[in-house]
């Protein structure tokens, strides 16, 4: 078995792994992220607690209604400007400060990595016979 045969087998395995994992992961990530299409960008006002005790609160307008909820301590710490922020609200009155959650973002990134690996390995496996002669 020559070096070009080993290289061809290795590239073929990478293309199968990359596309075999990347395509289903990409479809799953796309379905998961489709749930966040209903979240729309809103301007959020951050207000302090009345009397100085208690958590910060967020207020925003959505569907011609004023919404308000208390901020978790981690949310208050992650907002750089404590007067206003950009958030994402859905039609049920929920608010979050990131359009996609961390798990969704990780799944999306992994799917793109595997797809890229699979496509590059597939292209190399197609071009390899022409390059090795």
Contact 11, 125 (CB under 8 A): yes
pLDDT digits over 120-133, tens only? Answer: 999 999 998 888 86
For residue 65, the model assigns a pLDDT of 86
Contact 89, 67 (CB under 8 A): yes
For residue 22, the model assigns a pLDDT of 96
For residue 24, the model assigns a pLDDT of 96
Q: What is the pTM of this model?
A: 0.69
Return the number of other C-beta atoms located less than 10 Å from residue 104's C-beta.
16
Report the alpha-carbon distance of residue 131 to residue 118 in Å, rounded: 19
pLDDT confidence band for 27 (50 / 70 / 90) = very high
Q: Give the 3-state secondary structure of residue 88.
A: strand
pLDDT digits over 1-12, tens only? Answer: 788 888 889 999
Report the alpha-carbon distance of residue 73 to residue 70 in Å, rounded: 9
pLDDT confidence band for 91 (50 / 70 / 90) = confident
Return the number of other C-beta atoms located less than 10 Å from residue 115's C-beta.
17
pLDDT confidence band for 29 (50 / 70 / 90) = very high
Contact 58, 95 (CB under 8 A): yes
């Amino acid at each position: 078995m020559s070096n070009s045969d080993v290289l061809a087998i290795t590239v073929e395995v990478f293309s199968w792994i990359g596309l075999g994992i990347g395509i289903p992961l990409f479809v799953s990530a796309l379905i998961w992220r489709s749930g966040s299409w209903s979240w729309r960008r809103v301007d959020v006002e951050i207000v302090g607690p009345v009397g100085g005790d208690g958590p910060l609160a967020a207020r925003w307008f959505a569907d011609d209604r004023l919404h308000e909820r208390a901020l978790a301590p981690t949310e208050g710490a992650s907002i750089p400007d404590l007067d206003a922020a950009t958030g994402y609200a859905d039609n049920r009155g929920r608010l979050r400060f990131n359009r996609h959650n961390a798990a969704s973002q990780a799944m999306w990134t992994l799917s793109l990595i595997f797809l890229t690996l699979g496509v590059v390995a597939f292209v190399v496996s197609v071009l390899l016979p022409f390059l090795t002669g």
